[in-house]
Amino acid sequence: MQSLLEKYDTPAPRYTSYPTVPYWESDHLTEAEWTSHVVKVFERDRHLSLYIHLPFCEKLCTYCGCNKHITTNHALESPYIQAVLAEWKMYLDRLPGRPILTELHLGGGTPTFFHPDNLRQLLEAIFATVDIAPEHEFSFEAHPSSTTELHLEVLYELGFRRISIGVQDVDEQILRVIRRYQTIEQVEFVTQTARSIGYDSVNFDLIYGLPFQNQQHIVRTMELVGNLKPDRIAFYSYAHVPWLKNGQRAFDENDLPNPVDKRALYELGKNLLETLGYYDVGMDHFSLEKDALFQSAKNGQLHRNFMGYTPVFTPLSIGLGTSAIGDTFSAFAQNLKTVAEYQNAVAAGQLPLLRGHILTAEDLNIRQHILNLMCRYHTNWQPGDQRDVILARLAEPILDGLVEIGPSGVRVTELGKGFLRNICMAFDARYWAKVPSGRVFSKAV
């Protein structure tokens, strides 16, 4: 195992999209072109999923890989909400009909930085312009130190039934190193209050591979999981990308567990979760049997997008707010990243696009293969696949027992599940056509 970990601990995309963002051909994507892809999918059945990025955080957690704006100035909330509503209006003006909202996710940054009244104002304004699908999934990311009972009540009243709590680790020393100011009591409070209000799915975000993290820390974190029994767990591999995220320069690479120790943290966590009754779903996610995530994996319906794994797939997804990504399956578009750039573009009446990509027929085929591997652990050959090239890239994973090749396609073995990112890379034609010369992706293990 040690040699496998060393061999496959190479930089690899996390494949929340294909093509991966560094390979997008943004020159080909104009505002008109993006809109035409959105409208084409919308015309099929008016269903859409909305992602709203709420970027503000009061304090910087040094490990953070997300797009955020650190501030304690809450006067920024209102102008930001007005910009999000103005961006939404631009989409409404272009859509030929009233949308049916199936999915809504508030991500960040810290959505609970916003006062509940402001969240209500934002959401009620959006709800006034859409029909809400009878079966809908509304969820939000809750920071344990800023989520109040009022947040939970207001969002429940507005239809939210899923909450994702950023736990990461429970040890005080680790939390101090990553400068994350929260307590176990706050995690307990948010979990228990959400349950008593009626939320039916609670997710914990956990991370392995943080600086100074050892097996004892994982045991303690899983003890909390055992006590509170969240319905889902995202157990993320710490992505160390200090060339992209300045905050991560606060700690030395020597403080991070080496690849073998890091994988041991994952294996320990996985075993403890399985003992607690969780099933692994896709890559780095776990779910109780009754939760929709496990059920969708069992039925082959699991989907993966920029937020990770989801039990529902809505072909049209619109992203609002800084850095938010929209996805029509045939095209991606990402918004400008800073609050000032974003608000200025919206004020000028432009869709605040930073970059995007229109998928070619080959991209679409590869995207489906990667989704199949990430969500169902197997994929079937399709006409037009460069089978010989893919098989040549899979030569070592085959020898190492990570994948099995059958007449109809490629199957990931139990051992291979721990190396999904490496296996998907064999299909990633754009990566191999132009292997990055500098540091772009975090390491696979």
Binding residues for ligand SAM, per CB under 6 A? 63-66, 107-110, 141, 143, 166, 168, 205, 207, 236, 238-239
Sheet holding 378-380, edge to edge: 378-380, 409-412, 403-405
Binding residues among 355-374 for ligand SF4 as defined by CB under 6 A: none
Q: How far is the CB of 183 from ligand SAM (least distance, A)?
A: 14
Q: Please name the residues in contact with 394: beta carbons below 8 A apart, sequence gap of 6 or more.
A: 403, 405, 410, 423, 426
Q: Which stretch in 55-63, 126-134, 192-200, 219-227 sits in contact with ligand SF4 by CB under 6 A? A: 55-63
Nearest Cα to Cα of residue 178 among 186, 168, 188: 168
Q: Which is nearer to ligand SF4, 99 or 166 (CB)?
A: 166
To ligand SAM, the closest distance from the beta carbon of 51 in angstroms equals: 11
Buried b (16+ CB within 10 A) or exposed e, 103-121: bbbbbbbbbbbbbbebbeb
Is the CB of 34 or the CB of 208 nearer to ligand SAM?
A: 208
Q: Given the complex with ligand SAM, which of 108 and 269 has the nearer CB atom?
A: 108
Q: How distant is the alpha carbon of residue 362 from its chain centre? A: 24
Minimum CB distance to ligand SF4 smaller for 37 or for 143: 143
Pairing status of strand 201-208 against strand 232-237? parallel
| CB 215 within 8 Å of CB 274 | no
x/- site string to ligand SF4, residues 165 to 184, per CB under 6 A?
-x------------------
144 binds ligand SF4 (CB under 6 A): no
Two structure tokens written together for 437: 């010369």
Sign of the Cα pseudo-torsion (111, 113, 117, 122, in order): negative
- Does 110 bind ligand SF4 (CB under 6 A)? Our answer is yes
108 binds ligand SF4 (CB under 6 A): yes
Work out what residue 107 binds among ligand SF4, ligand SAM, none; the CB cut-off runs from 5 to 8 Å by kind.
ligand SAM
Minimum CB–partner distance for residue 234 and ligand SAM (Å): 6
**Residue 90 and residue 34 in contact, taking contact as beta carbons nearer than 8 Å:** no
- Considering the complex, state which of residue 46 and residue 304 has its C-beta at the smaller distance from ligand SAM: 304
Q: Does residue 68 touch ligand SF4 according to CB under 6 A?
A: yes
Q: Tell me the backbone φ, ψ of residue 90, rounded to 5 degrees.
A: -60, -40
Q: Spell out the alpha helix ranges (H) of 229-355.
A: 259-275, 292-298, 339-347
Question: Looking only at residues 314 through 333 of this chain, which bind ligand SF4 when binding is defined by CB under 6 A?
Answer: none
Our finding on whether 241 is near ligand SF4 (CB under 6 A) is no
- Name the minimum Å distance from CB 308 to ligand SF4: 15
By beta-carbon proximity to ligand SF4, the closer residue of 110 and 237 is 110
Three-state secondary-structure class, residue 191: helix
Binding partner at 445 among ligand SAM, ligand SF4, none, C-beta below 5 to 8 Å by kind: none
User: Residue 285: beta bridge partners?
Assistant: 234, 281
Kind and range of the H or E element at 424? Answer: helix 420-425
Q: Which does 207 bind (CB under 5 to 8 A by kind): ligand SF4, ligand SAM, none?
A: ligand SAM
Q: Of 57, 375, 420, 445, which one interacts with ligand SF4 (CB under 6 A)?
A: 57
Q: How far is the CB of 139 from ligand SAM (least distance, A)?
A: 12
E strand residue ranges, 368-431: 378-380, 403-405, 409-412
Q: Parallel, antiparallel, or unpaired for β 331-335 and 409-412? A: unpaired
Q: Is 250 in the site for ligand SF4 (CB under 6 A)?
A: no
As a whole number of angstroms, the distance between CA 275 and CA 268 comes to: 11
Query: Tokens 């994952």 sit at which residue?
Result: 266
Does the protein bind ligand SF4 through residue 81 (CB under 6 A)? Answer: no
Per DSSP, the three-state class of 325 is strand
- Which of ligand SAM, ligand SF4, none does 60 bind, CB closer than 5 to 8 A by kind? ligand SF4
Does residue 64 belong to the site contacting ligand SF4 (CB under 6 A)? yes
User: Per the omega criterion (within 30 degrees of 0), is the bond before 19 cis?
Assistant: yes
**Total residue count of the chain as it appears in this document:** 445
Residue whose pair of structure tokens reads 């899923």 in the numeric block: 162
Tell me: does residue 307 bind ligand SF4 (CB under 6 A).
Answer: no
According to the binding rule CB under 6 A, does residue 143 interact with ligand SF4? yes
Residues near ligand SF4, by CB under 6 A: 57, 60-61, 64, 66, 68, 108-110, 143, 166
